[in-house]
Structure 1
Amino acid sequence: MPDNNETPDAETDEDYDALMAEWEAMADSEDGEEVEGSSERVLDQSEIDSLLGFDDDGRGGGDNEGINAIVNSTRVSYERLPMLEVVFDRLVRMMSTSLRNFTSDNVEVSLDNITSQRFGDYLNSIPLPAMLAVFKAEEWDNYGLMIVDSNLIYSIVDVLLGGRRGTAAMRIEGRPYTTIERNLITRLMNVILMDLSAAFDPLSPVTFRFERLETNPRFAAIARNANAAINTRLRIDMEDRGGRVELVLPYATLEPVRELLLQMFMGEKFGRDSIWESHLSAELWHTEVAIDAVLDQLEMPLSSILNLKVGDQIPLNKTPSSKVALRCGDVEMFKGQMGRRNGHIAARISDKLIRGPGEFDQ
């Protein structure tokens, strides 16, 4: 007989062998398939990469995949306001003309993209040095932000002060902007704000007024860091010089015209077309209509009408002071007094008939 002291070792070996057998069964299962008696599911590497948003090369799959899609699901997309693209396309066309007049140079303006992001994230991503203009939408009683990058700042200064064409603008880093540079860029910002106001005019009249110029993003906080904002990036090219202008409009600023920005195209007003209505009303005022003055109406049998002869008289229950009915077709419009003016029979309108429920009431 084996010694009693050896019994626990034998049981331990048996438990160890059983545990190893279970691990081998789990290792042999295909692609995380559950093993009988096991309630946990094991993810393979491809599923883990998909969850984290990585592709086969180990690179991130973008903001719309994996955990990034969950984190960014609370962002508001600018595509919910389709009229913004129409407004900014109009802004690009107007800026191309106004900046050519401002710089007396060949200027090309293009719209890079329109994105939406949290205001705090955007402030932290602004490349410095740059100039930030805080402007106010007077009618909407809120603020917006305009950012001019350093490339465009030095290019505008070079163009306005007579720099040679064909040479890139010189950049001097590590110093604050001078008063001349600030004044010139302020003039540029005012031109852009005037065009932005004109671009919104067909949708809703608004005046964007320049408030102040900042060089530190911390002093240009016009909204909470978690608030959503729309970032519009514009590219301005002047031959081989140029840079970018970015317009940031918080959603709170656009809230007064949100219903108008939801329209799919200009003129869509729930089935109404204001242009056609204005044209139709203008033409109706010049339309000629025939008005009949009816002295009286008398009902007679057909036999009596057929027996009428020359010289017969039809008595009317009217006096010279009785009012006559003025009709347009079969619709009675006015009541009036008969008279004579300049040798012609005339009618003076005294009462205007108002349509009642199913009839005309005086």
Structure 2
Amino acid sequence: MSDIHSNNSVLNGSERLLDAPGISIDRMPMLHVILDRMAAQSSENLRQLSPAPAFFSVDAIAAKRMGDVLDTFENNVVIGIFHVQAWDSRILMGLDHNFIFTLAEALFGGDGGEAPFGERRKLSSLELRLAQKTFELLGRALQSSFATVSDTVFKLERVETRLDFAVIAPRNSFGVNAKVKLRILGRHGEMFILIPQAALNSVRQQLGRDLSNDAAVRDPAWTRQIESEIGRTEVAVKGVIEERHFVLADIADLKVGGILQLQATTRTRIRLECNAEPLFWCNLGQGEGFYTLRIDESVSQEQEFIDDVLSR
């Protein structure tokens, strides 16, 4: 009987993290590390797109009821719903309207000289497309940051502007709420990440890891060897002359011997890509019986981002 009682005590202790009312954030030190990493990576990604320096910072992490978090953003937020397959759950990410207005101004050439937009209104279709691209960027950053404890994919399912359509758990259930601020052009925007209590069940032990026990001494010889091997790694690149969009009917009409007309000429610049990431704009040439590409300039990630938003 004493052994059974002892085992039950251990079980109860390990279950307290998520089975008790609310969540003990203090018992999940890795969560702070993960969210700080996400903020740093998001800042770096956004600096590649915006000429104005952008900074994400985690403002607060707390256990709150799902409904209470959503109520504070009523009619002033756009929600991204992410499916996390490995957790068999969904999480929410929200951007307030000031976040979208400020980001749009920075990405489309604003310098912060005009007064902040303060009118309450619905987001335009362009702003919603910008929100979707932002969710995709933030989702990749969150996925990369969680990779240390959970190798999973954060897949953006849909974007909602009405909170009653953004229901992933009972409103009175608890979740981890992280408030993140964006600073750009001297202005602030706010976003939040809301993870239901049940979603963390599969990774609670990893999140409770004590980082002080994970310190390791870097081996200089091993570091040099890794750098050397990476430098000799072969990568495949491809030159994209032109991209065309087809509807399914066009594809069904394709036949052997058919000709697809291209708008490109010998003067058209070719985009050099690696792993679907654009790297350089090149000019087409020829030498010793081979086609050649002469690098002209680097691809502007900022312009590619804007063009992608506008083309949707």
TM-score range, shorter chain: 0.5 to 0.7
CA contact 1:158–1:169 (8 Å) conserved in 2: no
Distance 1:242 1:150 in 2: 11
1:17 alignment partner in structure 2: none
2:136 alignment partner in structure 1: 190
Change (3 A) 1:156 1:264: same
The alpha carbon displacement at 1:267 in A equals 6.3
- 1:92 aligned onto 2:73: no
Match of 1:126 among 70, 73, 78: 73
Change (3 A) 1:183 1:267: farther
The alpha carbon displacement at 1:127 in A equals 4.1
Match of 1:260 among 188, 206, 226: 206
Paired residue type of 1:115: A
Distance 2:106 2:112 in 1: 8
The alpha carbon displacement at 1:74 in A equals 3.4
Change (3 A) 1:122 1:267: same
The alpha carbon displacement at 1:155 in A equals 0.7
The alpha carbon displacement at 1:265 in A equals 1.2
The alpha carbon displacement at 1:274 in A equals 12
Quote the sequence identity (%).
27
Match of 1:140 among 87, 90, 101: 87
1:54 alignment partner in structure 2: none
CA contact 1:168–1:241 (8 Å) conserved in 2: no
CA contact 2:79–2:166 (8 Å) conserved in 1: yes
2:29 alignment partner in structure 1: 82
Larger relative contact order (CA 8 Å, sep ≥ 6):
2
CA contact 1:230–1:250 (8 Å) conserved in 2: yes
Paired residue type of 2:47: R
CA contact 1:136–1:144 (8 Å) conserved in 2: yes
Match of 2:123 among 167, 177, 181: 177
Distance 1:239 1:177 in 2: 21
SS in 1 for 2:49: helix
Larger Rg over CA atoms: 1
- 1:205 aligned onto 2:151: yes
Paired residue type of 1:214: E
Structure 2 gap ranges (5+): 1-19, 226-312
Distance 2:149 2:115 in 1: 39
Distance 1:75 1:221 in 2: 19
Equivalenced residues, count: 202
1:297 alignment partner in structure 2: none
SS in 2 for 1:248: strand
1:30 alignment partner in structure 2: none
Distance 2:122 2:185 in 1: 27
Paired residue type of 1:142: S
Distance 1:114 1:182 in 2: 27
Moved over 6 A (4+): 272-276
Distance 1:243 1:90 in 2: 19
- 1:244 aligned onto 2:194: no
Distance 1:164 1:261 in 2: 40
Change (3 A) 1:138 1:267: farther
- 1:216 aligned onto 2:216: no
Paired residue type of 1:147: G
CA contact 2:64–2:177 (8 Å) conserved in 1: yes
Q: Which moved more, 1:242-251 or 1:124-133?
A: 124-133
- Residues 43-62 of structure 1, C-alpha deviations (whole Å, 9 max, x = no match): xxxxxxxxxxxxxxxxxxxx
The alpha carbon displacement at 1:139 in A equals 2.0
The alpha carbon displacement at 1:109 in A equals 1.6
Change (3 A) 1:231 1:171: same
2:172 alignment partner in structure 1: 226
Paired residue type of 2:61: I
2:96 alignment partner in structure 1: 149
SS in 1 for 2:205: helix
Paired residue type of 2:95: V
CA contact 1:127–1:149 (8 Å) conserved in 2: no
Distance 1:266 1:140 in 2: 27
Paired residue type of 1:123: L
Distance 2:136 2:164 in 1: 22
Paired residue type of 2:37: R
Distance 1:122 1:259 in 2: 26
CA contact 2:74–2:163 (8 Å) conserved in 1: no
Q: Give the CA RMSD over aligned residues.
A: 2.4
Change (3 A) 1:153 1:191: same
CA contact 2:55–2:184 (8 Å) conserved in 1: yes
